[in-house]
Amino acid sequence: MSHTVEWKVRLYLFEEEGTTKARVVLNTGTTELIGHGAAHRSPEDADVPEIGDELAAGRAMCDLGRQLVDVAERDIGGMGTSTTRRSARPNTGWSTPDQM
């Protein structure tokens, strides 16, 4: 059985009060999921905006990925099949606002 679909993903980045924030929106045509991520540069770190963008975007995509896997696991559970839960990976690099 062949299956082809196109899902739209949009990524928004913005900086607010020293924190780079990201929002990634996945639209499957029937469902929309939104992931969020942030990165805060410490005053002693070099001012390299691309690093904040990369970290915030990566964290938003990880958040979106976790949500998507959660949806799939609920769907699998609804079919009477068990799933194996995964563990969260630790953050690396710049801190997120909730870590301060």
- Element of type H or E holding 3: none
The model's pLDDT over 64-81, given as tens digits with 9 standing for 90+, comes to: 999 999 999 998 988 886
Percentage of the chain beyond pLDDT 70 is 80
Residue 93 φ/ψ region, left for φ over 0, alpha for ψ in the -120 to 50 degree band, beta for the rest: left
Spatial separation of the C-alpha atoms in residues 23 and 25, rounded to whole Å: 7
Query: Does residue 29 fall inside a structural domain?
Result: yes
**Is the pLDDT confidence value at 42 over 60?**
yes
Query: Does residue 1 fall inside a structural domain?
Result: no
Percentage of the chain beyond pLDDT 90 is 62
Range of the domain at 77: 8-99
Report how many domains make up the chain: 1
Q: Is the pTM of this model over 0.95?
A: no
**Is the pLDDT confidence value at 88 over 80?**
no
CB contact at 8 A, 12 and 2: no
CB contact at 8 A, 87 and 77: no
Query: Does residue 2 fall inside a structural domain?
Result: no
**Is the pLDDT confidence value at 20 over 50?**
yes
Query: Does residue 3 fall inside a structural domain?
Result: no
Q: Give the domain CATH number at 63.
A: 3.30.160.240
